[in-house]
Amino acid sequence: MIYIVTQNEEECLLPEDNDIRFQDEVDFVLVATKPANGMDKNEADRKAYLRNLREKGFRINKKEDEHNLFFGIQAREEIFDKYMQHLKISERRNNDTEHRTVSKSIRIRITNFILWKTRYSPNDVNEDDPYVRNSLRKLLKDGTFKAVFPLHERCCCRGRKVPGSEDQCRLCKEGIWEKERKLRLEWAEWKCLFKKQPIDEIREYFGERIALYFAWLGWYTTMLVPAAVFGALVFLYGLVYFGSNQVSKEICNATTVIMCPLCDQRCQYWRLNETCFYAKVTQLFDQEITVGFAMLMAIWATVFLELWKRARARAVCSWDLCHWDEDEEELALGLIYNPDASPKEYCHSYKRTTIVMLLACVLITVIIGIALGIVICRVVAAVMFTKSSSEFLSDHASTVAVMVGAVLHFFTILIMTKVNRSVAKKLCDLERPRTLLARENNFSVKMFTFQFFTMFSSIIYIAFFLGRINGHPSNYVRIARQWRLEECHPSGCMTDLFIQMAVVMVLKQMLNSCVQYAVPSLKHQWKRYRKKIPKDDEDAIKNHWIKNYNLNSVDSFSLFNEFLEMAIQYGFTTIFVAAFPLAPLLALVNNLFEIRLDAKKMLVLQRRPIPRKAKDIGIWVRLLEAVGVLAVIGNGLVISITSDFIPRLVYKYGYGPCAGGRSFNNNCLTGYVNNSLSVFYVMNFDNRTLLKDNGSESLGFQVTYCRYRDYRTAGDYEYTIQFWHIFAARLAFLVLFENVVVCIKYLAAWFIPDVSASVRNLDLTKKYERLKKELKLPSKEFPDYSIHNAWRNRSTVV
């Protein structure tokens, strides 16, 4: 037995480990801190671990720099023989030549599995538990190793040698370097912003899972084009009629309409026409055409997912993964590592599931409580700023309070994101999922749910509660019986919702994309400055290892972060799109840059991720389908509750000049603003209302009554019959809208099959050819079922 991790390890390496071809073809690199003064308390554990790796058929080469020890790990070809045989059987392939060579991504995946399974102590018998005491995880935690990672591809001859010559390196001979160069030149460059992504090359370099993420992101971006066009048309329609809307014109001309004060102390009466521009902006989005756009976007969400399923099936079929099974893959890897290993069985605990659900509900309640706390802080801040001795703060108390609330919401998101991640991991540990993929799926569902409430809580409050639970003058709903809740503008709350959506989409999405690239880039530059990455010298291989080590680390959650960001954006694009029709356009622009930023980050700034096999994007499809259902509910509620679309219809056909089928020469909404405002006599103000003046100074006359947005009688301030008519109309529209859209969604899902007929025919043809070969039937040509014809005619089959 050869022990290789000693103080003079070069003397203990096998001669073949010093072969330059091996050094340039390592699968993994392990990094450890170079012991000071020859003393290393973790040396024994490192020796035992590396010794066990060599016993399993790995070759190890050691290099070092001023501060670190680097161990290059390469698996011998014999390790992959059983796996390739399993691959041939499980994927039902016909062509044996495809299995004579092992791709780099497969080598990395199998090597990674064995590295994490290998123990450094014979006392550990629980090999199925990834958190066992004597695993690589423990060695990384206690500092025995600092990092473990596969290498990005590197070309020794830099593509300068004559193709096929003796001097040409292996990467150039096998075309691997050309694929890596193609990714850099045709994928991770800004000039490729509008070019199709090389998905097959991404798959060969990063594995199927990352390739499917970029395929999904590219498909999502493509499908955003029609949505962005329709959203832009809705916006342009509003601009065309920006100043000619009847409601906004009445507000702009309402010089004699005196509104009630917006706060209890030091506020004053104000004229309705002072908010002319605000009213015009509200009517920019709150219009009849928005209803059709909201319905279209709810249907778009279903069509997008159904077409993606077809695109996914086409890609998976071309990769020969139609019959691949994750459980079979896991069992095969386990048998390759240990032929006597038993499968880890499924288990379900109702007790654990109940506890996890209760704890998740507790965190969701806390998130909602924090959102309500921000509302309270905003109300209290408005009162404090109103009482301020600063004239500027006193006059702009509401605006400054809104800004304070936005800042608090921003910091809440930053803090709660970390809390949500930590809690989601703890809950996953409590569930004890069977496999790594099951753990990632459970984590994704919990983290997405927590982030959804964190991001959307303030938007939900503005959309469905702001200005609807605040009461009326002399009987306002107060927090701790002191502070009034906020009110909507007389033209509605759509502008408040629009502003909140715009802030979230612009600041939290686009700036977040830039930060996700800027932070790894700055970290990389800082490491280069601190550690002074050497230039290519006589030991170019060592320099390549050092450069890869100094890149930013990746883990199993790196791709999750990208999916989570896009899923949250998908929610903004669909759920409240009725209030912000420009959301698809902003998402489209963001995603065009997001694809290239992610490409640059993965190729240039981060270590190479572990290639993972997959035939779909996993749990994210179900999460996106849930978002599609919420889009129907959300848009229906926005139109029926937040928008003034229903009150305008009720007034137009029930109370306005055109009511009862009467003809009217002018607009049928004439008088709508006056009809939507109730009257309050100022003598009925309670003793908590201390106004700045009675109107004599600010308006030039004493105010005896003021107006406020509601449908109440002037004497006893009870709801009018018109309020109940509007309430019934809102409820009827909500039920009708959601049922119609849901039916159309299910019809679209049924009409568009998940797998196209061309892909089904191709898979059927492959099965036919395989069975004919396995049964050793005499060869006979069937032109209608040949693979060539099936694939050639795929565009003509629906």
Q: How far is it, in rounded angstroms, from Cα 491 to Cα 672? A: 10
Q: Do the beta carbons of residue 571 and residue 563 sit within 8 Å?
A: no
Of 102, 188, 69, nearest to 597 by C-alpha is 188
φ and ψ at residue 147, rounded to 5 degrees: -160, 155
Cβ count near 345 (within 10 Å): 7
Residues in the chain: 798
Which helix or strand (DSSP H or E) is residue 672 part of? helix 672-675
pLDDT band for 584, please (50, 70, 90 cuts): very high
How many whole angstroms separate alpha carbon 219 and alpha carbon 211?
12
What pTM was computed for the model?
0.85
Residues 6 or more apart whose CB falls under 8 angstroms from that of 753 comprise 310
Mean pLDDT, residues 716-731 = 92
Cβ pair 287, 252 in contact under 8 A: no
Give the pLDDT confidence score for residue 651 in this predicted structure: 92
Percent of the chain scored above 90 by pLDDT? 18
* CB-CB contact of 712 with 727 (8 Å): no
Confidence of residue 532 (pLDDT cuts 50, 70, 90): low
Q: Which residues sit opposite 64 in a β-bridge?
A: 69
Extract the tokens encoding 770: 């395989």
Residue with tokens 């994928």: 187
**pLDDT tens digits, residue range 55-81?**
888 888 888 888 888 999 988 887 777
DSSP string for 547-582: HHHTSBP--TTHHHHHHHHHHHHHHHHHTTTTT-TT
Beta-ladder partners of 721: none
Residue 38: predicted pLDDT: 62
* 23-37, 155-169, 354-368, 598-612: range with highest mean pLDDT: 354-368
Tokens linked to 26: 């390592």
Q: What whole-number distance in Å separates Cα of residue 683 and Cα of residue 674?
A: 22
Is the predicted pLDDT of residue 531 greater than 90, yes or no? no
Q: What is the pLDDT of residues 553-583, one digit of tens each?
A: 888 778 888 899 899 999 989 988 888 888 9
Instruction: Give all strands of the β-sheet with 705-709 in edge-to-edge order.
Output: 270-271, 258-259, 705-709, 677-681
Question: Does residue 517 have a pLDDT over 80?
Answer: no
- Helix (H) / strand (E) element for 476: namely strand 475-476
For the segment 617-637, the average pLDDT, to the nearest whole number, is 90
Q: How far apart are the C-alpha atoms of 447 and 462, rounded to whole Å? A: 24
CA 219 to chain centre: 15
Q: Among 3-12, 76-85, 219-228, 499-508, which is the least confidently predicted range?
A: 3-12
The phi and psi torsions of 70 (rounded to 5 degrees) equal -120, 130
With beta carbons less than 8 A apart as the criterion, state whether 642 and 286 touch: no
Distance (Å) of CA 383 to CA 245, 267, 371, 405: 34, 10, 19, 13
8 Å CB contact between 677 and 709: yes
Average pLDDT over the chain reads: 80
List the beta strands (DSSP E) in 38-146.
Answer: 58-64, 68-75
Q: Which are the contacts of 95, defined by CB distance < 8 A and separation ≥ 6?
A: none
- Tally Cβ neighbours within 10 Å of residue 514: 13
Percent of the chain with pLDDT strictly greater than 70: 83
Each residue's pLDDT tens digit, 273-330: 888 888 888 878 888 888 889 889 988 998 999 999 999 999 998 888 887 888 877 8
pLDDT grade for 550, boundaries at 50, 70 and 90: confident
State both tokens at 132: 């066992």
Q: Structure tokens of 174? A: 């096998």
Higher pLDDT, 100 or 514: 514
Q: Look at 99 and 768; give whichever has higher pLDDT.
A: 768
DSSP H helices, 76-207, are: 81-90, 104-117, 136-141, 170-173, 176-186, 199-206
- What pLDDT, on a 0 to 100 scale, did the predictor assign at position 395? 65
In terms of phi and psi (left: phi > 0; alpha: psi -120 to 50; beta: otherwise), the region of 164 is: left
Q: Which residues of 220-237 are buried (b: 16+ CB within 10 A; e: fewer)?
A: bbebbeebbebbeebbeb
Identify the CA nearest to 679 among candidates 489, 474, 488, 487: 474
One-letter amino acid for residue 579 of the chain: A
Amino acid letter, residue 670: T
Residue 210 buriedness (CB in 10 A; 0-12 / 13-18 / 19+): buried
Q: What is the mean pLDDT of residues 404-416?
A: 82
How many other CB atoms are there within 10 angstroms of residue 638's CB atom?
Answer: 25
d(CA 249, CA 285): 16
Burial classification of residue 123, based on how many CB atoms lie within 10 Å of its CB (0-12 exposed, 13-18 middle, 19 or more buried):
exposed
Structure tokens at 93: 């392939």
